[in-house]
Structure formats: C-alpha cells, structure tokens
Chain A
Amino acid sequence: MATDVHRPVSPEAVPASETSQATPSTQATQAVHVAGLTRAFDGRAVIDRLDLDVRPGEFVALLGRSGCGKSTLLRILAGLDRDIEGTVLVPRRKAVAFQAPRLMPWKKVWRNVLLGLPGKPGRAVAEQALKEVGLDHRTDAWPKTLSGGEAQRASLARALVREPDLLLLDEPFGALDALTRIKAQRLVGELWQRRGCAVLLVTHDVEEAVLLADRVLVMDDGVIAHEQRIDLDRPRDITDPRFAELRAGLLERLGVDTAAEAA
C-alpha cells in the first residue's frame, strides 16, 4: 500500500539514486520515458525490454491482442506496479481510468469523482465533470445502482476532473452504446486539446485509435512491435480515404500478427 508518488517509478530493488541519474534531458522533453522496461509474472516476461516515449501533449493509442500486457503497462505507468526492471519516468500529475470502473461502492457518485482531489473542492466541481460525461442526473446515486456504461463514464469523469499531465485510459469506452461512445470520444478529444495533456489510450477499436491519436502503437510479445503516425487534420473524418487507408493498414498489421501466431 505504498502511496507516495515518486516521480521516477523506480523498481523496488534499485536505489532511487541509480534511476535519478537517468538522462535529465529526456525528462524535460518527454511526458513519458520508458527504457528497457521488463515485467515478469512468475518468470514469464509479459513486458520484455520495452521502450516508449510520449511527448507532452501527445495522444497515443495502444492496440494489441487481449492479454498482451497493455493493462500491465498502464498500471506501471500509473505507478501502481513497482516490481519492474528498467527506467520509467512519468509526470507527477497523472490520472487513470481503469478497464473496470473501480468506483468505491460506499461513496455516492459525486464523492467518488472528488475522491483524493487536493483542497476539498465543492460538489459543483463533481457535478460539472459528471455533466460533461452526461451523467449529471446520477450525481447522487450509489455506484452499485449504475449501469455498466454509466459506471464507466463516472470513472472517466473521475479521471478527467484531476486535470492531469498524463491521462491513462484503459478501454474507457468498452461498455458504451454507439452514440454515447461517439460522445465520450469527442469529450476526451476536446479535453485533450483544451488541457494539452499527454494521453495513452488502450483500445481494441482501430477506428477509435485512428480517430483520436497522433500515434498508434501495436504491442506484441512484450514490446511495441509497430508504430504508425496519424497525420490527418482534426477534426477527422472517418469517410476520408486516407483514414480508411490507415485503418486498413493497422488492421492488416494486427491481422498479420494473429496469422503469424496461428502458424
């Protein structure tokens, strides 16, 4: 239950002095700097010497088949998993929306949104954040009475209200219907542009990745196996032929991976 937030997420075994010497120059120009990161569960390396850099204000989407270690990487970046080897530098202010909503069932929705915020902000702050995700009518509800998508949006509001420098989103739109999903995507896009924070979005939806991200990464075998810049102008149009081309390329990339797996 270590809760102190170190700026470098240092592996538990390595003394802090050893990691703090790691290239102060990258520290200044990157929102996330990961080098040679390894995380093993019971001897099996789920993340294996992974390198990753995210510029401040950059929107990065992370694709990869189920179980390839995306959530694991996100937990490490959030500073929640310290059983690691390698260098990880992350901003102090970061917020996470987990794959499962993880709301405290004993706190009303609005209290969940405000939980852990410094300086005792008023209820209006929570109401504003909930309104942005279209949940203002459920402000006073108990989390267990929310639908799956509502809980996910409450969790998203809880992450957004923190105004972080790094926003980590783990499939935040998974349980939403098509329309709410489009709204939520737009919301995250707007918030990102307004706040200028770096975003790492884990998703299974290639279209969503191309729609929102500056850069799409594909994770496989414990490393970033493929990288695709998305240089389309915003707001993006999914009917744009270049959009379709990028999406097809990524899909093929994912498909090639799975085909290689099967062989």
Chain B
Amino acid sequence: MSISHAPPGSSEPDISDIPDGALVKATAATPSPPDLEPLLPASSRRTRIPRWLRRTTGPVLLLILWQLLSATGVLTADVLASPGRITQVAGDLIADGSLSSAMATSLTRVAAGLALGTLVGTGLALVSGLFRIGEDLVDAPVQMLRTVPFVGLIPLFIIWFGIGEAPKVAIITLGVTFPLYLNVYAGIRGVDSQLIEAGESLGLSRWGLVRHVVLPGALPGALTGLRYSLGIAWLALVFAEQVNADSGIGFLMVQARDFLRTDVIVVCLIVYAFLGLLADFIVRSLERLLLQWRPTFTGR
C-alpha cells in the first residue's frame, strides 16, 4: 500500500558526494514520504450484499442444521421436535384458535403490568428525582426493595391476590417498576447542570425548567429503562404463567410439558421470542421518533 514519490535508487547518487554535515541537513529538509493509506469512502467499504440478507443467513443456516439433525435421527422428537414438525403444529394451533387466544390473554397481562409498572416507576422516579424531600422519602425504600428478587414474591402474591389475574399482573408490575425507576431517576439526576443553569438564565420558571430541560434530558435514560422493563416483563410473564395458570401461553406450555410435546413447547417459545422482538421494535421506533436530536453512532 506504500506509495513512494521518488524511486530510492535515483536519489542516492545525488547525495553521495555531499559532505556529512550537509547530508544530515539535506535529509532533514526533504523528509522521506510517509506511507500513505487510502481512506475509502464509507459506502465502498461496505459489502454489496444487502443488510437483511446478511442478517438472515445465520439463522437460516442454523435451521437447516437443526432439520438435518432431526432427519438423520440424531435429535429425537422427545428431545426436540424438527423444524418441519414445529411449523405444522404451529399451523394447527393457529387454525384451531388456541394460540391466538393464549396470545391475547398473555398480551393483556403484559400490557396491564407494563402500564401499571410504568406509571409507578416513572411516578416514583419523578418524585425522588425532582424533589429533595422526595428523594429522602422514596429512594432508600425503593433501593431496598429492589434487592428482593421479585419472582420470589409469587407465593406471597398468590396468598394476597388469589389465583386470578391479579397476582400475575402484580408480578409483572413489580418487575417493570424497578428498572424504570432506576433509569428515569438516573436520567433526571444526570441532566447537564450547565444546561439547567442556562435555562435559569433564560428566565424559565421551575416548571419550565422541568418541562424544557430536565424531562427531555432524562428521556434517553427513560427509554433505556423502558427497554429493560420490557425484557423483564416477558420474563415475569413466563414465571407468572407457569405457576397456577389456566390460560395464556405459559399455560399452553405447562400442558405440553405434561404430554411431552416438545413441538408445542418450541412453538410457545417462538411466540415469546416474537413478542419480545415486537416490543423491542416498538421501543426502537419510539427512540428514533423521540431522540431525533441525538446524533447516534450507528456502527459499521
């Protein structure tokens, strides 16, 4: 890659008969050209294969391998059903409506828990982030409660709320609350004090400062919290539905376990994954919409 401007051979005779001192000077005056590195435009550095194709190759290869292992009998149906069988079962479950009704039940639970948890989490974070007294009253108890693994509370919730929808929604709410609280609180406290000062100097009222400086500044943190919360919401859903449920995706899985139907279990797992992806997509879209002002590093 080195590009030299002068052929080294041609310059040698020129300086051979110059005295030593002058030679040093001459070389210092005309430094040898450095190795040049071509900086290619970003577009040409990328490969020509479209992005979606590159991203789907890996999963497709994995699927093919899985199908091969099942077909050759290395992977028996008791351990893991083949992709073909799973597709067929998924079709059946969709056709008889059991999958969609289970999905609807589970989605309702997550939505309710998420809504409640978002309300509680951001509410608490606003109180302790915006008011000194709120911080003193709220932060310590929340930090203490945070250390209790929320899944461990399921038995207690069943005693309190019975076995209906309430304990399931409560578990999801609890799981969602803490990551949101922590991130929104950190977001509020992390707002650049110089910007707050600028806002003050512009004559913003206290509420104006909150509305125009503090909340927008805390938004990136809040969205990160929301993303964490969504992940935890699914996790909480899985736990809640496998204990004492009579409907929903988790119930479908428990049932399948009793009949050793690995195909149904995998279908349910795929549904969970799909819903998780969907949720992530929604948050990403939200981020793109609300954080337009932020120049982001997109990676290479």
Q: Which of A's residues lie within 8 Å of B, judged by CB? A: 1-3, 5, 75, 78-80, 94-96, 98, 100, 102, 104-107, 115-118, 142-145, 158, 162
Contact = CB atoms under 8 A, between A and B. Distances in A.
B116 interface: no
Nearest to B203: A116
Q: How extensive is the interface on chain B, given as a class? A: 20 to 34
B198 A1 contact: no
The 8 A-B pairs of least Cβ separation, nearest first, read A116-B202, A102-B198, A106-B216, A116-B203, A96-B201, A142-B293, A116-B204, A106-B293
Given A106-B293, A143-B293, A115 B201 contact: no
Contact of A106 (B201, B203, B219): B219
A105 B194 CA distance: 12
Given A3-B205, A3-B206, A143-B293, A100 B200 contact: no
Nearest to B207: A3
Interface string B195-217: 11111111111101100110011
Contacts of A162: 202-203
Contacts of A94: 201
B198 A5 contact: no
A5 B203 contact: yes
B47 interface: no
Contacts of B216: 104, 106-107
Contact of B198 (A98, A117, A118): A98
Nearest to B206: A3
Contacts of B295: 142, 144-145
A145 B200 CA distance: 24
Contact of B217 (A106, A142, A158): A106
Interface of B: 194-206, 208-209, 212-213, 216-217, 219, 292-295
Q: Which of A3, A145, A162 has the most CB of B within 10 A?
A: A3
A141 to B, nearest CB: 10
Contact of B200 (A80, A106, A117, A143): A80
B280 to A, nearest CB: 23
Nearest to A142: B293
Nearest to A168: B201
Contacts of A107: 212, 216, 293
B293 A116 contact: no
B206 A144 contact: no
B194 A100 contact: yes
A5 B205 CA distance: 10
Contact of B196 (A1, A98, A105): A1
B94 to A, nearest CB: 43
Q: Which of B203, B209, B212, B295 has the most CB of A within 10 A?
A: B203
Given A80-B201, A104-B199, A116-B208, 17 more contacts: A3-B200, A79-B201, A80-B197, A80-B200, A102-B194, A104-B195, A104-B212, A104-B213, A104-B216, A107-B212, A107-B293, A115-B202, A115-B204, A116-B203, A117-B203, A158-B202, A162-B203
Given A80-B201, A106-B217, A116-B204, A1 B209 contact: yes
A162 B201 CA distance: 11
Nearest to B208: A116
A13 B107 CA distance: 57
A113 B200 CA distance: 14
A47 to B, nearest CB: 18
Q: Which of A80, A96, A105, A107 has the most CB of B within 10 A?
A: A105
A104 B293 CA distance: 10
Contacts of B219: 106
A89 to B, nearest CB: 17
A162 B206 CA distance: 19
B203 A105 contact: no
A115 B212 contact: yes
Nearest to B217: A106
Contacts of A96: 198, 201
A144 B204 contact: no
A98 B197 CA distance: 10
Contacts of B213: 104
A100 to B, nearest CB: 7
B289 to A, nearest CB: 13
B272 to A, nearest CB: 35
A100 B193 CA distance: 13
Nearest to B292: A142
Contacts of A3: 200, 204-206, 208-209
Contacts of B195: 102, 104
